Structure 1
Amino acid sequence: MAACSFRRSIASQLSKVLDLPPENLIKSISAVPVSKKRQVADFQLSIASVTEDSSRNCLAQDPQLQAQKLAERLKCDAVVSEISAGPGTVNFTINRELLAKAVLQQVLKDGSEYGVKSELFSTVPRQKAVIEFSSPNIAKKFHIGHLRSTIVGNFIANLKVALGHEVTRINYLGDWGMQFGLLGVGFQRFGNKEKLKSSPLQHLFEVYVQINKAAEDENTKELAKDFFRKLEEHDEQTLSLWKQFRDLSIEEYIRIYKRLGVRFDEYSGESFYQEKSQEVLKMLEDKGLLQKTTKGTGIVDLSEKKDLSSFSTVMRSDGTSLYITRDLAAAIDRMNKHSWDTMIYVTDKSQSNHFQQLFQILKLMGYDWAERCQHVSFGLVQGMKTRRGEVIFLEDVLNEVRSRMLQNMASAKTTKEIEDPMETAEKVGLAALIIQDFRGLLSSDYQFSWDRALQSRGDTGVFLQYTHARLHSLEQMHGNKQLTDVNVACLQEPDAISVLQHLLRYDEVLYRSSQDLQPKHIVSYLLTLRLQKNMSSFSQVEEAVGKKTLAHCSGGSSSSAAFRSL
């Protein structure tokens, strides 16, 4: 692509001066972020990155002087029109006509794969990835953490697919444990079959709340234990009721996830690994890793000195498994089934210790692939409430965002008459939720604000979606004519150059997000791209290549992998 060819040209000249292979230099040459205040060069080389590798100590120790001396030894050519020194950097300005022609032609040539074909990804092997995300607990509150897990996991899966990886998306439901003993007894006492069929998540939650209030009674506790014991023993009637809870809940989840544009390849759950977890306990025992406490619980010593200063409990005193035991069984089973290269768990940061212990036990068991397991954690969100009060289910969030967006659309003077305002309101509202969530580091907590998220102006998902739709409208309006020539003389004004410079950075942004799995790089890129497209840059690019191409390069193909990721 254009950025790659420019990097290669710069690296080729640098390699002769620094006596380093060009391939060692390419990743040290980065596109310069655009600036509102001043014109900037197109690429820069960090002096620190080359002096660490350089075998020739030909440069001075001061970074500014180092940059100056290196810049003096380089020459402009047909590609590079200007070379200058910055604070610890050497800056390269590309021939302006070549920049415009190369970028636009590359955008048109690569289409939706613009940025993906970059040399930056040449050393990144295509992989099989298993991603576990969302994972709500049946009959319990679908809290904001599950919503965040859903959209973050979906982003990671979409990004990996856009970059050519093979992805399996798993929703690992909390569908086993003593809470189902309580739920079973609660349904026998408070349940309604009609309500269960019409609104399973809501009704099971109501039943669970009611039975929890009664759970202080010892008789209720014993009944719950007895129900769960029957469940573990596969009592036909008990298992049938549990299966009904699970199946109806999954049907409801699928319907709600469809509204979000999220899908899963597998609906798994703790219940799948009830028996396999016993096999894991046997393996731990055979390897001498399972120890018993005086109370009869099973633990694995995780301390370096083997003094039990750090350990994980993997078995109850009655011999039954725990959450981590079932996670161990699930990890082993997924490797056997999918032969994955990487497995990613997307949960809130409160579970960081759980996953550290999980990966450590897998290593102790001799599974070297545990090194390729990863926990992507995220912070907490405060303030997510509907007008009716605290958020209980994901559907409450979706209904709220649609309702508020409809109200905003109705009160805005610029809103045009559209065929399906409900659908439009939901899609634009979802973009607003996602962009607000993805603007910062995932690990950071943040205070949610409906008003801020749904603003129609500024750095918001609403305005980003509006810009994207506007550009696609231009594309549709002007047909699918093939570009025959580019009048680059129309693209020499600062505004037009800024858009072209920004497009140069797209592969670096994708690469950075692919490395740390943070969506904020792509969100920041898209918001900045939107800001670059003021009316003067619109008119210049339209004059050069036609409105159809503007939509293609600025809002369609060049950002399509980013939009697919989000």
Structure 2
Amino acid sequence: MAACPFRRSIAAQLSRVLNLPPENLIKSISALPVSKKRPVADFQLFVGSVIENKSSDHSKPDLQLQTQRLAEKLKCDTVVREISTGPGTVNFTINRELLAKTVLQQVFKDGSEYGIKSELFSTLPRGKIVIEFSSPNIAKKFHVGHLRSTIIGLLGAGFQQFGNEDKLKSNPLEHLFEVYVQVNKAAAEDENIKKLAQDFFRKLEARDEQILSMWQHFRDFSIEEYVRIYKRLGVHFDEYSGESFYQEKSQEVLKMLDARGLLQKTIKGTRVVDLSEKRDLSLCSTVMRSDGTSLYITRDLAAAIDRMMKYNCDTMIYVTDKSQNAHFEQLFQILKLMGYQWAERCQHVSFGLVQGMKTRKGEVVFLEDVLNEARSRMLQNMAAAKTTKELENPLETAEKIGLAALIIQDFKGLLSSNYQFSWDRVLQSRGDTGVFLQYTHARLHSLEQMCRDRQSTDINTACLQDPQAISILQHLLSYDEVLYKSSEDLQPKHIVSYLLTLSHLAAVAHKTLPVKGSAPEQAQARLRLFQAARSVLANGMKLLGITPVSQM
């Protein structure tokens, strides 16, 4: 486990003064955010977090007074150049040459694991996590919103009326979507079609061979298409097992619920689980229709139990849109009632809705159309830009930049927030966008290529004392904290914000700290700094599912 020697050194000194183990202090020492207006210290200790832990005495003196007293007991040394205080904080400024030397060494030594190897992660238990995400429905094209309703019954009934086997083979999801639209329209006018759909679904649960074969047909075609689109996103799944896979096992779940006395019959003939505190059915979850068929939640219960038995995982995470918050609360509650203690380790990560998204093809927005549109708009922008280089594969580059633009837009805010989509804003080459991240990465990569003859690992760190260089080094110091924060609350926005700041700092330094035309020693040091910034930028982008481009 690579440790930041600065944090460790500060913790060791604080440990002696506070009489606390150094490992208890590590997480209370954090890197300060870079300030454009004035030089700032490198680390700060939140005194309240360690003093409160140390004493619960109600007659404690004022926090600021304690902060002052603590600072007076600490001494500068070969690592810490200056100690100062802020509101409830003790601030530490690191020896400037040591800062440059250590940060750069660590970035290149750890490579793609820089930040991840930090001591901040040493206390986290290593475990197995099962994540269920995406969950598109069989035979329904990827939508940018979340697809959740079970449409197999309608689709089965519809295909028998409107389906065409040749069209299914040539363009499966396009054709199945057409069938779905047609049968939906017909069902609105004819009650019999709804009955046919229910009948289809009931036969499917009863494992009727002909119906099962048709469903398998839809599923195989759908997964084939999904794999192709997932590949464009750089996503690979270990397993494809949607909730419809658990239709048979859901009947076992109903028997288990019944055996535990949790299943109650309503006047309508449905079966429910009572989740109300007073057990008065004021809050209940329907787990079986009156015709004996299962529901979404029944199949989710079967899936959760099966996956936990199969993988014996430490955590199970479900990623779906926030309209399903109540569904997952009920799911986890029923699992607990069934006696599964591991339900405490299940978690729902919810996301908001994308509003106002349109493509040139129309209002119904499918993911593949969005990816195509992002790519074609990026191609146009690249063709119009004066700085665009001659590229070997412009289509592939446009695809990577377009995808980066969509990912950064999606991850900028809280996952659960809805946001208004705008193509112009998403694809801007300046500002806080994925295009800007890619542009910065390509620019730094091109600088490395141009100055290959000057590259050296042995540099003079005295050449990296300019405020712009110090700002980049300070920012690189806090990368592990950003990763740790994202791992705790499962919000990618911390990483996005970090990478955008790094790109802006690198852009400013690129203008003010030239490599070309500088003295050899200075040029080598600056080039090494830019290499480190590009390396961390690439690492962070890859964590978000973005493939960095080296030219654009």
TM range (shorter): over 0.9
Cα-to-partner distance string for 1:423-443 (whole Å, 9 max, x where unaligned) = 111110110111111111111
Selected match of 1:302 from 266, 275, 278: 275
Selected match of 1:343 from 316, 328, 349: 316
Aligned to 2:549: none
Conserved in 2, the CA contact under 8 Å of 1:28 and 1:49?
Answer: yes
Task: Quote the Cα distance in structure 1 between the aligned partners of 2:116 and 2:145.
Answer: 31
Task: Quote how far apart the aligned CAs of 1:223 are.
Answer: 2.9
Task: Quote how far apart the aligned CAs of 1:476 are.
Answer: 4.7
Cα-to-partner distance string for 1:356-411 (whole Å, 9 max, x where unaligned) = 00001111111111111000001111011102321432111111111111111111
Q: What's the % identity of the aligned pairs? A: 76
Aligned positions, number: 538
Task: Quote how far apart the aligned CAs of 1:36 are.
Answer: 0.5
Task: Quote how far apart the aligned CAs of 1:511 are.
Answer: 0.4
Q: Aligned with 2:241: secondary structure? A: strand
- Using the TM superposition, name which of 223-232 and 289-298 deviates more: 223-232
Aligned to 1:250: 223
Q: Residue type matched to 1:200 in 2?
A: P
Aligned to 1:549: 528
TM-score, with length taken from structure 1: 0.90
Q: Residue type matched to 1:181 in 2?
A: G
Task: Quote the Cα distance in structure 1 between the aligned partners of 2:138 and 2:167.
Answer: 16
Change (3 A) 1:482 1:128: farther
Aligned to 1:66: 66
Task: Quote how far apart the aligned CAs of 1:547 are.
Answer: 6.5
* 1:510-549 matched pairs, under 5 angstroms: 510-533=483-506, 534=508, 535-537=511-513, 539=515, 543=522, 545-546=524-525, 549=528
- Using the TM superposition, name which of 100-109 and 501-510 deviates more: 100-109
Aligned to 1:31: 31
Q: Aligned with 2:83: secondary structure? A: strand
Aligned to 1:565: 544
Cα-to-partner distance string for 1:135-186 (whole Å, 9 max, x where unaligned) = 112344633224xxxxxxxxxxxxxxxxxxxxxxxxxx96x95x32322222
Q: Aligned with 1:357: secondary structure? A: helix
Conserved in 1, the CA contact under 8 Å of 2:454 and 2:523?
Answer: no
Change (3 A) 1:199 1:324: same
Selected match of 1:238 from 211, 224, 241: 211
Cα-to-partner distance string for 1:11-40 (whole Å, 9 max, x where unaligned) = 111122222221111110000000111100
Task: Quote the Cα distance in structure 1 between the aligned partners of 2:468 and 2:218.
Answer: 58
Q: Residue type matched to 2:157 in 1?
A: V
Q: Residue type matched to 1:23 in 2?
A: E
Does 2:159 correspond to 1:187?
A: yes
* 1:114-193 matched pairs, under 5 angstroms: 114-140=114-140, 142-146=142-146, 177=150, 179-193=151-165
Task: Quote how far apart the aligned CAs of 1:240 are.
Answer: 2.0
Conserved in 2, the CA contact under 8 Å of 1:201 and 1:252?
Answer: yes
Task: Quote how far apart the aligned CAs of 1:56 are.
Answer: 8.7
Change (3 A) 1:520 1:86: same
Aligned to 2:238: 265
Does 2:86 correspond to 1:86?
A: yes
Q: Residue type matched to 2:383 in 1?
A: A
Aligned to 2:382: 409
Task: Quote how far apart the aligned CAs of 1:59 are.
Answer: 10
Task: Quote the Cα distance in structure 2 between the aligned partners of 1:353 and 1:182.
Answer: 25
Q: Residue type matched to 1:425 in 2?
A: A
Aligned to 2:550: none
Cα-to-partner distance string for 1:264-301 (whole Å, 9 max, x where unaligned) = 11111222211111111111111111111222211111
Aligned to 1:76: 76
Selected match of 1:462 from 416, 422, 435: 435
Task: Quote the Cα distance in structure 2 between the aligned partners of 1:228 and 1:50.
Answer: 60
Task: Quote how far apart the aligned CAs of 1:559 are.
Answer: 4.7
Q: Residue type matched to 1:206 in 2?
A: E
Change (3 A) 1:542 1:301: farther
Q: Aligned with 2:145: secondary structure? A: helix
Selected match of 1:197 from 162, 169, 173: 169
Conserved in 2, the CA contact under 8 Å of 1:276 and 1:329?
Answer: yes
Q: Which has the higher contact order (CA 8 A, sep 6+)?
A: 1
Change (3 A) 1:221 1:26: closer
Task: Quote how far apart the aligned CAs of 1:225 are.
Answer: 3.2
Task: Quote how far apart the aligned CAs of 1:485 are.
Answer: 2.2
* 1:342-421 matched pairs, under 5 angstroms: 342-421=315-394
Does 2:269 correspond to 1:276?
A: no
Cα-to-partner distance string for 1:435-464 (whole Å, 9 max, x where unaligned) = 111111111111111100100111111010
Conserved in 2, the CA contact under 8 Å of 1:359 and 1:371?
Answer: yes
User: What RMSD over aligned residues (CA atoms) do the two structures have, in Å?
Assistant: 2.3
Task: Quote how far apart the aligned CAs of 1:214 are.
Answer: 1.3
Task: Quote how far apart the aligned CAs of 1:79 are.
Answer: 0.8
- Using the TM superposition, name which of 226-235 and 454-463 deviates more: 226-235
Mark the runs of 5 or more structure 1 residues left unpaired by the alignment.
147-172
Q: Residue type matched to 2:194 in 1?
A: K
Conserved in 2, the CA contact under 8 Å of 1:542 and 1:550?
Answer: no
Aligned to 2:179: 207
Does 2:76 correspond to 1:103?
A: no
Conserved in 2, the CA contact under 8 Å of 1:284 and 1:365?
Answer: yes
Task: Quote the Cα distance in structure 1 between the aligned partners of 2:260 and 2:514.
Answer: 67
Task: Quote how far apart the aligned CAs of 1:62 are.
Answer: 3.3
Q: Residue type matched to 1:134 in 2?
A: S
Q: Aligned with 1:20: secondary structure? A: coil
Task: Quote the Cα distance in structure 1 between the aligned partners of 2:527 and 2:241.
Answer: 45
Cα-to-partner distance string for 1:206-235 (whole Å, 9 max, x where unaligned) = 111111111131332333333333333333
- Using the TM superposition, name which of 503-512 and 249-258 deviates more: 249-258
Task: Quote the Cα distance in structure 1 between the aligned partners of 2:173 and 2:296.
Answer: 22
Q: Residue type matched to 1:532 in 2?
A: L
Task: Quote the Cα distance in structure 2 between the aligned partners of 1:132 and 1:69.
Answer: 51
Conserved in 1, the CA contact under 8 Å of 2:82 and 2:93?
Answer: yes
Task: Quote the Cα distance in structure 2 between the aligned partners of 1:337 and 1:34.
Answer: 47
Change (3 A) 1:477 1:267: farther
- Using the TM superposition, name which of 348-357 and 265-274 deviates more: 265-274
TM-score, with length taken from structure 2: 0.92
Aligned to 1:290: 263
Task: Quote the Cα distance in structure 2 between the aligned partners of 1:357 and 1:426.
Answer: 40
Change (3 A) 1:548 1:236: farther
Cα-to-partner distance string for 1:504-541 (whole Å, 9 max, x where unaligned) = 00110010001001001101111111111122246499
Aligned to 1:162: none
Selected match of 1:440 from 406, 413, 423: 413
Task: Quote how far apart the aligned CAs of 1:308 are.
Answer: 2.1
Task: Quote the Cα distance in structure 2 between the aligned partners of 1:223 and 1:484.
Answer: 72
Mark the runs of 5 or more structure 2 residues left unpaired by the alignment.
546-552
Task: Quote how far apart the aligned CAs of 1:478 are.
Answer: 5.2
Selected match of 1:429 from 397, 402, 411: 402
Conserved in 2, the CA contact under 8 Å of 1:200 and 1:248?
Answer: yes
Does 2:286 correspond to 1:313?
A: yes
Conserved in 2, the CA contact under 8 Å of 1:115 and 1:510?
Answer: yes
